[in-house]
Amino acid sequence: MHVWKREYTAELIGTAINIFVGLSAIVFDFGKGLPMEQLIPSTETRLLITGLIFAGSGSLVAISPFGKLSGAHINPSLSLAFWAHGKMHNQDLIGYVFAQFIGAIIGVFLVSKLWGNYAKSVYNGMTLPGTSYSLVTVFAAEVFITFLLILSIFMFVSSRYLMRWTPLMVWLLIAIMVWQEAPISGTSLNPARSAAPALITGLWRDQWLYFIAPPLGALLAVGVFRLLPRQLDVLTCKLYHSYHCRSIFRNVKH
Protein backbone atom coordinates (compact mmCIF):
# COMPACT_ATOMS: atom_id res chain seq x y z
CA MET A 1 0.00 0.00 0.00
CA HIS A 2 1.38 3.39 -1.00
CA VAL A 3 1.56 5.87 1.88
CA TRP A 4 1.56 9.60 1.21
CA LYS A 5 4.62 11.14 2.83
CA ARG A 6 5.19 14.69 3.99
CA GLU A 7 8.03 14.93 1.46
CA TYR A 8 5.43 14.67 -1.30
CA THR A 9 3.45 17.55 0.17
CA ALA A 10 6.63 19.63 0.41
CA GLU A 11 7.42 18.78 -3.23
CA LEU A 12 3.90 19.76 -4.30
CA ILE A 13 4.09 23.11 -2.50
CA GLY A 14 7.60 23.82 -3.77
CA THR A 15 6.60 23.07 -7.36
CA ALA A 16 3.49 25.24 -7.09
CA ILE A 17 5.56 28.16 -5.77
CA ASN A 18 8.20 27.80 -8.48
CA ILE A 19 5.66 27.56 -11.30
CA PHE A 20 3.56 30.43 -9.94
CA VAL A 21 6.54 32.77 -9.59
CA GLY A 22 8.19 31.70 -12.84
CA LEU A 23 5.10 31.95 -15.01
CA SER A 24 4.15 35.24 -13.36
CA ALA A 25 7.55 36.51 -14.48
CA ILE A 26 6.78 35.38 -18.04
CA VAL A 27 3.41 37.15 -17.98
CA PHE A 28 4.86 40.34 -16.48
CA ASP A 29 7.77 40.46 -18.92
CA PHE A 30 5.92 39.42 -22.08
CA GLY A 31 2.17 39.85 -21.48
CA LYS A 32 0.39 42.06 -23.99
CA GLY A 33 -0.62 45.41 -22.52
CA LEU A 34 1.90 45.34 -19.69
CA PRO A 35 4.67 47.97 -19.55
CA MET A 36 7.80 45.81 -19.84
CA GLU A 37 7.69 45.75 -23.64
CA GLN A 38 8.00 49.54 -23.68
CA LEU A 39 10.35 49.80 -20.72
CA ILE A 40 12.72 47.10 -22.01
CA PRO A 41 12.29 46.68 -25.78
CA SER A 42 15.04 44.02 -25.99
CA THR A 43 13.50 40.55 -25.97
CA GLU A 44 16.84 39.04 -24.98
CA THR A 45 17.07 41.25 -21.91
CA ARG A 46 13.54 40.35 -20.85
CA LEU A 47 14.35 36.67 -21.35
CA LEU A 48 17.37 37.02 -19.07
CA ILE A 49 15.27 38.73 -16.40
CA THR A 50 12.62 36.03 -16.72
CA GLY A 51 15.21 33.28 -16.44
CA LEU A 52 16.78 34.82 -13.36
CA ILE A 53 13.40 35.09 -11.64
CA PHE A 54 12.08 31.69 -12.74
CA ALA A 55 15.22 29.76 -11.88
CA GLY A 56 15.86 31.90 -8.81
CA SER A 57 12.50 30.99 -7.34
CA GLY A 58 13.36 27.30 -7.71
CA SER A 59 16.70 27.80 -5.96
CA LEU A 60 15.00 29.69 -3.13
CA VAL A 61 12.56 26.81 -2.77
CA ALA A 62 15.55 24.47 -2.52
CA ILE A 63 16.92 26.27 0.55
CA SER A 64 13.46 26.72 2.10
CA PRO A 65 12.01 24.30 4.68
CA PHE A 66 10.02 22.66 1.87
CA GLY A 67 13.11 22.11 -0.24
CA LYS A 68 15.24 20.90 2.63
CA LEU A 69 12.63 18.22 3.30
CA SER A 70 11.79 17.04 -0.22
CA GLY A 71 15.00 17.97 -2.00
CA ALA A 72 13.20 20.42 -4.32
CA HIS A 73 13.35 18.31 -7.45
CA ILE A 74 10.37 20.28 -8.84
CA ASN A 75 10.89 18.38 -12.07
CA PRO A 76 9.97 14.81 -13.03
CA SER A 77 13.13 14.66 -15.17
CA LEU A 78 15.34 15.08 -12.10
CA SER A 79 13.37 12.58 -10.02
CA LEU A 80 13.56 10.12 -12.92
CA ALA A 81 17.33 10.59 -13.07
CA PHE A 82 17.79 9.90 -9.37
CA TRP A 83 15.54 6.85 -9.63
CA ALA A 84 17.40 5.53 -12.69
CA HIS A 85 20.64 5.88 -10.74
CA GLY A 86 19.20 3.77 -7.93
CA LYS A 87 18.67 6.58 -5.43
CA MET A 88 14.86 6.63 -5.20
CA HIS A 89 12.39 3.92 -4.25
CA ASN A 90 9.75 3.14 -6.87
CA GLN A 91 6.91 4.44 -4.71
CA ASP A 92 8.76 7.68 -4.02
CA LEU A 93 9.30 8.30 -7.72
CA ILE A 94 5.55 7.93 -8.25
CA GLY A 95 4.76 10.15 -5.27
CA TYR A 96 7.17 12.88 -6.38
CA VAL A 97 6.04 12.92 -10.01
CA PHE A 98 2.38 13.03 -8.97
CA ALA A 99 3.11 15.88 -6.55
CA GLN A 100 5.06 17.78 -9.22
CA PHE A 101 2.25 17.61 -11.76
CA ILE A 102 -0.41 18.60 -9.23
CA GLY A 103 1.77 21.40 -7.89
CA ALA A 104 2.40 22.69 -11.40
CA ILE A 105 -1.32 22.67 -12.20
CA ILE A 106 -2.07 24.60 -9.02
CA GLY A 107 0.64 27.13 -9.86
CA VAL A 108 -0.66 27.69 -13.39
CA PHE A 109 -4.26 27.92 -12.17
CA LEU A 110 -3.28 30.69 -9.74
CA VAL A 111 -1.36 32.51 -12.49
CA SER A 112 -4.38 32.35 -14.82
CA LYS A 113 -6.66 33.74 -12.12
CA LEU A 114 -4.28 36.46 -10.95
CA TRP A 115 -3.18 37.74 -14.37
CA GLY A 116 -6.35 37.03 -16.37
CA ASN A 117 -6.14 38.24 -19.96
CA TYR A 118 -2.47 39.12 -19.55
CA ALA A 119 -1.77 35.44 -18.88
CA LYS A 120 -3.96 34.40 -21.81
CA SER A 121 -1.92 36.64 -24.11
CA VAL A 122 1.11 34.39 -23.50
CA TYR A 123 -0.90 31.15 -23.35
CA ASN A 124 -0.46 30.99 -19.57
CA GLY A 125 3.28 30.60 -19.99
CA MET A 126 3.20 27.57 -22.29
CA THR A 127 6.38 26.18 -23.79
CA LEU A 128 6.10 26.20 -27.57
CA PRO A 129 8.60 25.42 -30.33
CA GLY A 130 10.16 28.45 -31.97
CA THR A 131 8.56 29.17 -35.33
CA SER A 132 11.96 29.36 -37.04
CA TYR A 133 13.05 25.87 -35.98
CA SER A 134 12.14 22.36 -37.07
CA LEU A 135 10.64 19.99 -34.53
CA VAL A 136 13.77 17.85 -34.82
CA THR A 137 15.89 20.84 -33.75
CA VAL A 138 13.51 21.67 -30.92
CA PHE A 139 13.51 18.07 -29.71
CA ALA A 140 17.31 17.87 -29.83
CA ALA A 141 17.62 21.18 -27.99
CA GLU A 142 15.38 19.97 -25.16
CA VAL A 143 17.31 16.72 -24.89
CA PHE A 144 20.62 18.59 -24.75
CA ILE A 145 19.68 21.26 -22.19
CA THR A 146 18.07 18.68 -19.89
CA PHE A 147 21.12 16.45 -20.27
CA LEU A 148 23.35 19.38 -19.33
CA LEU A 149 21.22 20.35 -16.33
CA ILE A 150 20.95 16.86 -14.88
CA LEU A 151 24.62 16.02 -15.44
CA SER A 152 25.62 19.30 -13.77
CA ILE A 153 23.40 18.55 -10.77
CA PHE A 154 24.84 15.04 -10.48
CA MET A 155 28.39 16.42 -10.58
CA PHE A 156 27.62 18.90 -7.80
CA VAL A 157 25.73 16.50 -5.51
CA SER A 158 28.53 13.94 -5.83
CA SER A 159 31.03 16.35 -4.28
CA ARG A 160 30.99 17.25 -0.57
CA TYR A 161 32.55 20.61 -1.46
CA LEU A 162 30.24 21.49 -4.36
CA MET A 163 26.94 20.10 -3.07
CA ARG A 164 26.16 23.16 -0.94
CA TRP A 165 26.44 25.33 -4.04
CA THR A 166 23.98 23.30 -6.13
CA PRO A 167 21.10 25.82 -5.84
CA LEU A 168 23.36 28.66 -7.01
CA MET A 169 24.66 26.63 -9.95
CA VAL A 170 21.13 25.59 -10.97
CA TRP A 171 19.92 29.19 -10.74
CA LEU A 172 22.63 30.54 -13.02
CA LEU A 173 22.59 27.62 -15.46
CA ILE A 174 18.82 27.65 -16.02
CA ALA A 175 18.79 31.45 -16.25
CA ILE A 176 21.37 31.28 -19.03
CA MET A 177 19.41 28.51 -20.74
CA VAL A 178 16.22 30.58 -20.70
CA TRP A 179 18.13 33.60 -21.98
CA GLN A 180 19.82 31.80 -24.87
CA GLU A 181 17.67 28.73 -25.63
CA ALA A 182 14.07 29.79 -24.98
CA PRO A 183 13.54 31.08 -28.55
CA ILE A 184 14.23 27.53 -29.77
CA SER A 185 12.09 25.34 -27.53
CA GLY A 186 10.84 27.48 -24.67
CA THR A 187 13.38 25.89 -22.29
CA SER A 188 11.01 23.41 -20.70
CA LEU A 189 13.40 20.91 -19.08
CA ASN A 190 10.34 19.72 -17.21
CA PRO A 191 7.26 17.77 -18.39
CA ALA A 192 5.15 19.06 -15.49
CA ARG A 193 6.09 22.68 -16.23
CA SER A 194 4.92 22.22 -19.84
CA ALA A 195 1.87 20.03 -19.23
CA ALA A 196 0.22 22.28 -16.64
CA PRO A 197 -0.16 25.43 -18.78
CA ALA A 198 -1.14 23.27 -21.77
CA LEU A 199 -3.90 21.76 -19.62
CA ILE A 200 -5.15 25.10 -18.31
CA THR A 201 -4.96 26.69 -21.77
CA GLY A 202 -6.45 23.69 -23.57
CA LEU A 203 -3.76 23.75 -26.26
CA TRP A 204 -1.64 20.66 -26.84
CA ARG A 205 0.11 21.54 -30.10
CA ASP A 206 3.54 19.87 -30.20
CA GLN A 207 3.44 19.23 -26.45
CA TRP A 208 4.50 15.61 -26.92
CA LEU A 209 8.02 16.97 -27.31
CA TYR A 210 8.12 18.04 -23.68
CA PHE A 211 6.93 14.69 -22.39
CA ILE A 212 9.68 12.78 -24.19
CA ALA A 213 12.74 14.98 -24.74
CA PRO A 214 13.49 16.11 -21.15
CA PRO A 215 13.20 12.62 -19.63
CA LEU A 216 15.38 11.28 -22.46
CA GLY A 217 17.98 13.94 -21.75
CA ALA A 218 17.87 13.04 -18.06
CA LEU A 219 18.45 9.35 -18.76
CA LEU A 220 21.33 10.16 -21.10
CA ALA A 221 22.89 12.26 -18.33
CA VAL A 222 22.68 9.30 -15.94
CA GLY A 223 24.34 7.09 -18.54
CA VAL A 224 27.21 9.53 -19.06
CA PHE A 225 27.63 10.06 -15.31
CA ARG A 226 28.08 6.33 -14.86
CA LEU A 227 30.92 6.37 -17.39
CA LEU A 228 32.86 8.83 -15.23
CA PRO A 229 35.45 7.68 -12.65
CA ARG A 230 34.02 5.09 -10.26
CA GLN A 231 34.73 7.12 -7.13
CA LEU A 232 32.04 9.60 -8.15
CA ASP A 233 28.60 8.86 -6.75
CA VAL A 234 25.54 10.83 -5.76
CA LEU A 235 25.82 11.74 -2.07
CA THR A 236 22.41 13.38 -1.74
CA CYS A 237 19.23 13.63 -3.80
CA LYS A 238 18.48 17.06 -2.40
CA LEU A 239 19.49 20.25 -4.16
CA TYR A 240 20.35 21.61 -0.73
CA HIS A 241 21.09 18.89 1.79
CA SER A 242 20.27 19.62 5.42
CA TYR A 243 21.58 17.21 8.02
CA HIS A 244 18.67 18.23 10.26
CA CYS A 245 16.02 16.91 7.84
CA ARG A 246 15.37 13.24 7.27
CA SER A 247 16.06 11.67 3.90
CA ILE A 248 13.86 9.03 2.30
CA PHE A 249 16.29 8.38 -0.54
CA ARG A 250 18.16 5.14 -1.21
CA ASN A 251 21.88 4.51 -1.06
CA VAL A 252 22.95 8.06 -0.23
CA LYS A 253 25.72 8.99 2.19
CA HIS A 254 24.93 11.75 4.65
Per-residue confidence in pLDDT tens, the chain, 254 aa:
468 899 999 999 999 999 999 999 999 999 999 999 999 999 999 999 999 999 999 999 999 999 999 999 999 999 999 999 999 999 999 999 999 999 999 999 999 999 999 999 999 999 999 999 999 999 999 999 999 999 999 999 999 999 999 999 999 999 999 999 999 999 999 999 999 999 999 999 999 999 999 999 999 999 999 999 877 899 999 999 888 888 999 888 65
Taken in order of first residue, the domains within the chain and their CATH numbers are: 6-227 (1.20.1080.10)
What is the reported pTM?
0.95
Residues 95, 3: Cα–Cα separation, whole Å: 9
